[in-house]
Structure 1
């Protein structure tokens, strides 16, 4: 390689913890901090959600949709994606509320049940809203998973959860003009290629998810 300065972004693993990390460089080369804030770390976008959000089946860490969005937006994205969880745990809302975010993205519906939403969605929202009175909060519908074409039980469950999300969101929206709801109707496309197992997203699914959210987040960040 030519001896010139370059900047690189290193993504750590999505599931495994990192016990040690080594970067090999030429003996005459130097490693320094970046000269440009890339991505911008002030006012990050905070995401809360499930294993889908975590990046579960992305082929490499940089293909998790939050990392794709971070590159496109030039903004740090905090990924609070929890495999098998995201049940609107109020303790997590308290942690999220400590972040001075530009936007909060709440993508809990794939794992949260109707009962969870009835019992905790309003309280979860209020914990964040009390500390951030005007920061945009974005709610995302349950994806129309590819196997809902064949599994009527799952199709009914997705529809029921999205109806409950709309019901509670409508009540919140009446008193809060800084909340937004993103439809999942165009999230995965129509070709059946966007998931690994009918649920978790392939790289293509991650890209489509990022395509869906990018214009929404870009507008909200620029508005701030």
Structure 2
């Protein structure tokens, strides 16, 4: 999800921010995140793709410290951050509740946890659109929604493991660990984006992203 897809609650300027995500941690470089000290957690080793130049993707901003570590192994001092942001990463994590517990401990009172995941409508039965002979999307099959857990799917390559959870589970785990839910969103393209990229009309038929914001 692009950082332009949703507005963070409040202005994070001058805050201590942790960004927990996969890929190359570009979200940590977003000017709108501001922050006196941004720490970017990455799941995947950037250099697994030899075509990418480390210096082209990692910012030399002195306010950002990059850590190559699994989100499950997240270690922070208690009450160290004002904001924790995760973009499209937590559906790759098996023990979501443990991550939520660690994030809660890492946040200062009043701190926020804002994250996006692949929408459970998509992760429940990741078979993709059923299409007609002309390639037009007929419908998105929804099955096994209440059967939470491991899913194997194709995402650029075959055999990518994701973990399906219901919307209820994502939300109630936050509440049970002490968070106060502030926002639940299902981002959709702006009209201008739909006009520029008609293929995005498919996202109006089934939600691709779930966005949650919670406060300690």
TM range (shorter): 0.3 to 0.5
Higher relative contact order, structure no. (Cα contacts within 8 Å, ≥ 6 residues apart): 1
**Structure-1-length-normalised TM-score:** 0.41
Task: Pick the structure with more helix per residue.
Answer: 1
